[in-house]
Amino acid sequence: MTETHDAPARIRPSRGADFSRIYGVGGYRPVRVIPNEEVLQWIDSSDEWIRTRSGISERRWAGPEETVSEMSVQAAGKAIAQAGIAPEQIGAVVVSTVSHLKQTPAIATEISHRLGCGTAAAFDISAACAGFGYGLSLADGMVRTGSAEYVLVIGVERLSDLTDTSDRSTAFIFGDGAGAVVVGPAAEPGIGKMVWGSDGAQADVISQTQAWDTAFAKEDAVNGAGDEIKWPALRMEGQTVFRWAVWEMAKVAQQALDAAGISADQLGAFIPHQANMRITDAMIKALKLPASVPVARDIAETGNTSAASIPLAMERMLASGEAKSGDLALVIGFGAGLVYAATVVTLP
């Protein structure tokens, strides 16, 4: 009897499109506007201080009906419509959020179901203010390996649920909202290399005050009668974050430009995470961005909406005509973790 030497079993390679790009963007801003005057009822500050230190005039806070799911469905519905595809063509739904308060199941499955995305893969990611870039990088990979033809990336936050309105260093900063994009196959590169990373040594500089189990343990111990704040909130070392963002993030933004082979004067838009207008201005200077490049300044009316801030700002720039479809935009997100993600994209 002759022995057969079969070739070892080989997994068939999975290949999708050569490249990917964004086909649609949509945003949802809660109805309730919180002007600086309202913030002044909670903290000792002034409209002028808030405007000059952060660039924020007002922010939106979600009402009870404007849940993480509802805001996401509204934003994603617009993005899918603009992409001109049917919801069933979405193969994966990635939801980036740090403020969905129910840990399991992922809110992505509910959102996918409500949108009519059939059996699309659906999951949440936690990458704070870099969450949109992290999601975009996953989407790019999925489209190019063929594990999904179209991917819905949603950044959504209800940061008002995690805001301590008595904290002078954060009460004026955060806002709520959702932004979404549809990523799909393309013949030309529409998403550059993601320059991303983390610095866990600085995990404490922006974080939740306490874990939920600690909070509940305290609640039990004081039998609900203690006067300390038991509901966890976001805390941040403002100056440390500010310095890190200004020094390190301009370098990351430059690396993203270099990786994409694009010079600053070729950009049609600069859309940084809307953390603080002064951080944006410092980055413009460090990047030597020509004055002709429009810059997202959505923070003035939206506040810092973490994962939602870049797609919300992108939508606004396109809707106002400040930026055009097909323009190249430099996007960069950075925040709690610390984490960051930057790339160049072709606008939808």
Ligand X SMILES: CC(C)(COP(=O)(O)OP(=O)(O)OC[C@H]1O[C@@H](n2cnc3c(N)ncnc32)[C@H](O)[C@@H]1OP(=O)(O)O)[C@@H](O)C(=O)NCCC(=O)NCCS
Subset of 61-120 contacting ligand X (CB under 6 A): none
**272 lies in the site for ligand X, by CB under 6 A:** no
Per CB under 6 A, 195 contacts ligand X? no
- Which segments of 205-337 are extended strands (E)? 206-208, 234-236, 269-272, 328-335
Our CA dihedral for 88, 94, 96, 98, rounded to 10 degrees, sits at 100
Q: How far is the CB of 219 from ligand X (least distance, A)?
A: 28
Alpha-carbon span 145 to 159, nearest angstrom: 34
Whether 273 sits among the annotated catalytic residues: the reply is yes
Selecting among 36, 117, 273, 276, the annotated active-site residue is 273
Check 36, 100, 129, 276 and give the catalytic one.
129
Among 51, 53, 114, 218, contact with ligand X (rule: CB under 6 A): 53
Tell me the residue length of the chain. Answer: 348
Residues 318-344: b if buried by 16+ CB within 10 A, e if exposed: beeeebeeebbbbbbbbbbbbbbbbbb
Spatial separation of the C-alpha atoms in residues 56 and 274, rounded to whole Å = 10
**Cβ-based neighbours of 23, under 8 Å, separated by 6 or more:** 82, 83, 84, 85, 150, 181, 182, 183, 184, 348
Instruction: Enumerate the β-bridge partners of residue 21.
Output: 184
Closest CB to ligand X among 83 and 241?
A: 241
Stretch near ligand X under the rule CB under 6 A, chosen from 112-120, 143-151, 234-242, 264-272: 234-242
Among 33, 38, 42, 43, binds ligand X (CB under 6 A): 43
Helices first, then strands: H and E counts in the chain: 11, 13
Q: How many CB atoms lie within 10 A of CB 79?
A: 27
- Label the pairing between strands 269-272 and 121-125: unpaired
Among 166, 214, 239, 325, interactor with ligand X by CB under 6 A = 239
CA gap 266, 262 in Å, rounded: 6
Q: If binding is defined by CB under 6 A, does position 127 make contact with ligand X?
A: no
Contact flag: residue 40 with ligand X (CB under 6 A) = no
304 is catalytic: yes
Which residues between 305 and 324 bind ligand X (CB under 6 A)?
A: none
Q: By the 8 A CB rule, do 74 and 156 touch?
A: no
For residue 241, state whether it binds ligand X (rule: CB under 6 A). yes
Among 149, 242, 255, 266, binds ligand X (CB under 6 A): 242
Contact flag: residue 47 with ligand X (CB under 6 A):
no
Candidate residues 129, 205, 260, 344; the one interacting with ligand X per rule CB under 6 A: 129
* Least gap, CB of 238 to ligand X (angstroms): 3
Q: Is 236 in the site for ligand X (CB under 6 A)?
A: yes
Contact positions toward ligand X, by CB under 6 A? 43, 45, 49, 53-54, 129, 168-169, 172, 206, 236, 238-239, 241-242, 275-276, 279, 304, 335
Residues annotated catalytic, as ranges:
129, 273, 304
